Amino acid sequence: MPFVTKLSFESGDREVLDRVVNDIKERAAHKGVQLKGPHPHPATEVSAPQYKRLQPGDGFEPWKFSVYTRDIEIHDHDQFAREVAGDEYPESIHVEANVEQRSGVGT
């Protein structure tokens, strides 16, 4: 039964994120790996409060930033998927991996 590895990459730095996923896509093409993606998602806007002191109500404007997400699916190439999931990425990149075993039709 084939395995599908779904990788989700998140970052606040869109240029670094796109560079990382494009590098993975190029490596997959060189190795003949079946890869779907990267699939971009709409940016998520995040807001974090900032305080001048530890007392509530005395603060600066909230810090606002965007988080960008790209998803990749790797089909049947377990070794390549392990390599990609275990690679070292810049600190600004968060990687999440999910592996599914899919059965064929009628099995």
Instruction: Detail the DSSP E strand segments found in the chain.
Output: 3-11, 34-40, 44-51, 59-75, 93-101
pLDDT score recorded for residue 104: 63
Q: Please, how many CA atoms are within 13 Å of residue 88, restricted to the half-sphere of its CB?
A: 0
- All structural domains of the chain, each given as residue ranges with its CATH number in brackets, are 3-40+68-101 (3.30.70.600)
Query: What pLDDT is stored for residue 10 in this prediction?
Result: 97
Distance, C-alpha 28 to centroid of its chain: 16
pLDDT tens per residue, the chain (107 residues)? Answer: 578 999 999 999 999 999 999 999 999 999 999 899 999 999 999 998 888 777 766 778 888 999 999 999 998 888 999 999 889 999 999 999 998 887 765 55
Residue 1's pLDDT is what?
56
pTM exceeding 0.85: no
